[in-house]
Structure 1
């Protein structure tokens, strides 16, 4: 399993993903789930992935191969005219990869499922973010639906719903995501450190701040311990139950 979040702010986009791909007593491995395509001044796109690892790797590899191929090779994520077309391209690629993988008949298409979050901006267009489903269709983030989660999302969602504000700074949004991920990490073994963090500032058309967060990261430890203490303090401050 995994956990990835894309958050839409007035200032831009912020992405965070974990790196765990397997979890067990003696079977723990990591793999990067955040990918970026950038041509400064022209486009900046970030993709987060969750689901079958073979499917997500194949989708990303195909997108990479087409972007580095000769001029007449299409489609190419580095040449699509808009974020909408980029989402449609990725959706088509996901659908084709899953169909090809399941044609052998040994496993249904659901076993090869993968979900993606795509966010960024192409010159001449607006900053946009999409959630792309295994079927290849997608939806867009809006003011009413300003963030997307994929993977093991239920533990980290409550704090996002309660504390999100579109006017947040990147720093405040990062703190929010740290809490969301810490709640998930403490509740599910299939999500694990290190975490990858990235900012995109609207209209910049270039890669923003990036960071890999390890278990020893001082700020992560401070947030994790502080959130536990704050929850305990808030719980103790609530009125006690009294039997009739």
Structure 2
């Protein structure tokens, strides 16, 4: 399984994904689930993936091939709007999901995947979409400025309580990392290393990209501090 989370804020976009892929308790691997594409100063697009690796890798490969082909008008780096980007990724995901599912149905297996697509082009606003395997999607809004895919339930409470569109990028980074920390503690199918990407509004480029390894001291300290803060808060709250 996996956990990916994206925040769409007034100051920019913050994205975080894990890298664990498992096909059973004894078959655990590390695969990147965060992919970025940019024409610096003109547009930037980030895609996070969850679900069947055969589906998501095929989709990313085909999107990358289209970008590399100057005559391919389906390139997401040549789409006129982020909505068109979402529609293009959605169609690709739907087509690949159908192709793979047809093959897997013969073995009574299922292929399912979802994606988060976020970014901005010059002349347009930042937008973020959650795309389902059927190709349809929902969009992050001012009322709900975050989207999640994969094992989202463990990391959702902190986002509900602290995230608004006015949250700063620095606080947003802390929120997604603590959201991930909660998920790591509660679900073994989600694992490090982590990939963090930050896109500042109006820059049309990747502002920050970082891989957080299992031995990262800063992340470990944040996790310990969060556990201590929760225990202290629990002790202070009066019983009803």
Task: Bin the TM-score by the shorter chain.
Answer: over 0.9
For normalisation by structure 1, the TM-score amounts to 0.93
Following TM superposition, where does structure 1 have runs of at least 4 consecutive aligned residues deviating by more than 4 angstroms?
Answer: none
The 3-state SS of whatever aligns with 2:77 is coil
Report the CA distance between 1:75 and its aligned residue: 1.3
- The DSSP-based 3-state class of the residue aligned with 1:103 is helix
SS at match of 2:224: helix
Larger Rg, first or second structure (1 or 2) = 1
What SS is found at the alignment partner of 1:148?
strand
* Alpha-carbon separation, structure 2, partners of 1:221 and 1:24: 27
Take 1:92 and 1:100, find their aligned partners in 2: how far apart are those partners?
12
Alignment partner of 1:33 is 2:29: no
Verify the 8 A CA contact 2:145 2:164 in the aligned structure 1: no
Q: CA deviation at 1:28?
A: 2.1
Q: Distance in 1 between matches of 2:196 and 2:216?
A: 13
Distance 1:181 1:157 in 2: 9
Shift of 1:74: 3.4
In structure 1, how many angstroms separate the alpha carbons of the residues matched to 2:143 and 2:222? Answer: 28
Q: Which residue of 2 aligns with 1:74?
A: 73
53-62 vs 26-35, greater mean Cα deviation:
26-35
So what's the TM-score if we normalise by structure 2? Answer: 0.95
Q: Once the two structures are superposed, what CA deviation does each residue of 1:110-153 show, in whole Å capped at 9, x if it has no partner?
A: 82111100100112211111111110011111111210000000
RMSD: 1.5
Counterpart CA distance in 1 for 2:199 and 2:121 is: 12
Post-superposition offset of 1:223:
1.1
Distance of aligned partners of 1:137 and 1:207 in 2 relative to their CA distance in 1, 3 Å threshold:
same
Q: Please name the residue that 1:55 is paired with.
A: 55
- Unpaired runs of 5+ residues, structure 2, are none
Inter-partner Cα distance in structure 2 for 1:232 and 1:75 = 51
